[in-house]
Amino acid sequence: MNLALLQIGIDDTDSKQGMCTTYVGAVAIDRLKAQGIKLEGYPKLIRLNPNWKLKTRGNCAIAFTVKVQKHQIPAVKEIILHTVEELAELHIETTNPGVAFYESERVPTKLRKFSKKVVQDIATIDEAEALAMEIGAEVHKFKLGRGIIGALAAIGNPLERDWTFELIAYRTPENRGTSRKVDAASVVRMNDQTFPNTFDNLDPFTGEIRITPHTPCPILYGIRGENAKTTLKSHKLVKALEPIERLIIYKTNQGTDEHIRRAKIAEVKPYWSVIVKGKVSSMPQIIPGGHVIFSMRDKTGEIDCAAYEPTRQFRDVAKKLVVGDKVVAYGGVKEKPELPLTINLEKLSILKLVPVLRKVNPMCPRCGKRMKSEGKGKGYSCKRCKIRVPVSAAKILEVKREIGVGAFEVPPRARRHLARPLVRVAYPRREY
């Protein structure tokens, strides 16, 4: 038989008003299966640059591979394009879908590099079209067709170094836009039985269920885990109180820190997510809204770091830093022309704490009560005993710090899709 591997990428079919690119992919895959066309491996859910200003919610693209006979390829393409045209939010101005087809058994180096750039930086439609022409990929643009960028990037991401899985359950059309109905107690039990092989199921500080989104998209819930088998087991433990239309399991770069690059402070640019090592250079301040801001410095420059109000307990860590503490900051940088560059913290590692010293007034040698200062450089006196002592009688004590060396992260309620939870560091990925 004259078989071919066809790689398919889809992006930018959703809007803030509804739809989800993962759902468009799930429907397309089910329609192909109904025609006897099977997937090679798991479909991919690739999160792109989380700092990009034109993103819709989680900024994801999807890709999958099918093995077909050559004569089936036109029919496959027709099914995909028809599904995108039918389901995408084309009436929304900011929705500009793109589809990519690439007939090959391998992913060329240039496409891999492009994919990495789209996750960590910014790429243009022109770049995507030029790359497609160079490697022989076929792209289809709906409206502006910005989605061809993510569609190619999803095909180009090999998910070789690290990956996770997500099982997604979708709602029936009549329930979309209404409150999601999932038994919270069943989610707690599921988490008790499967954590840390599944993660971010709930917020441990507030008890908030995190598998259900709060947007008008078709998703009922999504369960993230280290392997596909565990996500399916976890799904069976969750009690849905409304019908489920369909299920899909994606292999994904979620929870991998793939968006982050190591950088010196002078190298940091808007739209990057970075890991920066340095020393705290200004005391943390609480600004309106409850956000905590401090500065850090390395040999190349200085930059602000922010722990925002939704990060809750994480802010308390940032508040307790002092000038001179050695830290590593992880986070994204957005473009705000009216403000200096700021790392929006996702994680913070404290490498070394400097001593905090406090001067303590001496005790009266006669009555044992704390003496009072007579003014700067004038020593201390006891009003009761009329005893005076010099400035040198004061004691310098080291204050016990309220934080310690270690790694800290924002809670699940404030975590970005791509940010790697600390539990994944403590419990490495399990093979599927």
pLDDT tens string 22-54: 999 999 999 999 999 999 999 999 999 999 988
53 against 355, higher pLDDT:
355
Q: Which residues pair with 164 in a beta bridge?
A: 252
pLDDT tens across 132-191, in order? 999 999 999 999 999 999 999 999 999 999 999 999 999 999 999 899 999 999 999 999
With a CB cutoff of 8 Å and minimum separation 6, the contacts of 144 are 96, 125
Task: Tell me what pLDDT residue 276 has.
Answer: 98
Q: Check whether residue 7 and residue 136 sit in a common domain.
A: yes
Check whether 397 has a pLDDT greater than 80: yes
Q: Give domain status of residue 277, yes or no.
A: yes
Instruction: Indicate the residue among 197, 231, 252 that finishes a domain.
Output: 252
pLDDT tens across 84-107, in order? 999 999 999 999 999 999 999 889
Supply the range of the domain harboring residue 322: 260-353+402-415
Q: Give domain status of residue 421, yes or no.
A: no
Please tell me the total count of domains within the chain. 4
Mean pLDDT of the chain: 94
Residue 76 and residue 151: Cα distance in Å, rounded? 16
Q: Give domain status of residue 308, yes or no.
A: yes
The domain that holds 286 is classified in CATH as 2.40.50.1010
Q: Check whether residue 93 and residue 182 sit in a common domain.
A: no
Q: Give domain status of residue 432, yes or no.
A: no
Q: Check whether residue 392 and residue 409 sit in a common domain.
A: no
The domain that holds 171 is classified in CATH as 3.90.600.20
Q: Check whether residue 206 and residue 285 sit in a common domain.
A: no
Q: Check whether residue 183 and residue 73 sit in a common domain.
A: no
Q: Check whether residue 195 and residue 216 sit in a common domain.
A: yes
Q: Check whether residue 25 and residue 65 sit in a common domain.
A: yes
Q: What percent of the chain has pLDDT over 90?
A: 83
Q: Check whether residue 266 and residue 410 sit in a common domain.
A: yes
Dihedral Cα 209, 213, 216, 217, nearest 10 deg: -140
- Local confidence band at 56 (pLDDT 50, 70, 90 cut-offs): confident
Which segments within 40-146 are labelled E, that is strand?
44-47, 60-69, 98-103, 138-141
Token digits of residue 13: 């079919």
Residue 77 and residue 305: Cα distance in Å, rounded? 47
Tell me what the mean pLDDT of segment 364-376 comes to. Answer: 90
Q: Check whether residue 10 and residue 151 sit in a common domain.
A: yes
Task: Tell me what pLDDT residue 55 has.
Answer: 84
Q: Check whether residue 29 and residue 139 sit in a common domain.
A: yes
Backbone angles phi, psi at 258, to 5 degrees: -65, -20
Q: Give domain status of residue 222, yes or no.
A: yes
Q: Give domain status of residue 226, yes or no.
A: yes
pLDDT tens across 265-323, in order? 999 999 999 999 999 999 999 998 889 999 999 999 999 999 998 888 899 999 999 99
Instruction: Indicate the residue among 121, 156, 191 that finishes a domain.
Output: 156
Q: Give domain status of residue 428, yes or no.
A: no
Task: Tell me what pLDDT residue 428 has.
Answer: 52
Task: Tell me what pLDDT residue 44 has.
Answer: 98
Q: Check whether residue 216 and residue 323 sit in a common domain.
A: no
Q: Check whether residue 334 and residue 379 sit in a common domain.
A: no
Q: Give domain status of residue 424, yes or no.
A: no
- Local confidence band at 431 (pLDDT 50, 70, 90 cut-offs): very low
- Local confidence band at 215 (pLDDT 50, 70, 90 cut-offs): confident
Check whether 432 has a pLDDT greater than 70: no
Burial 167-190 (b: 16+ CB within 10 A, else e): bbbbbeeeebeeebebeeeebeeb
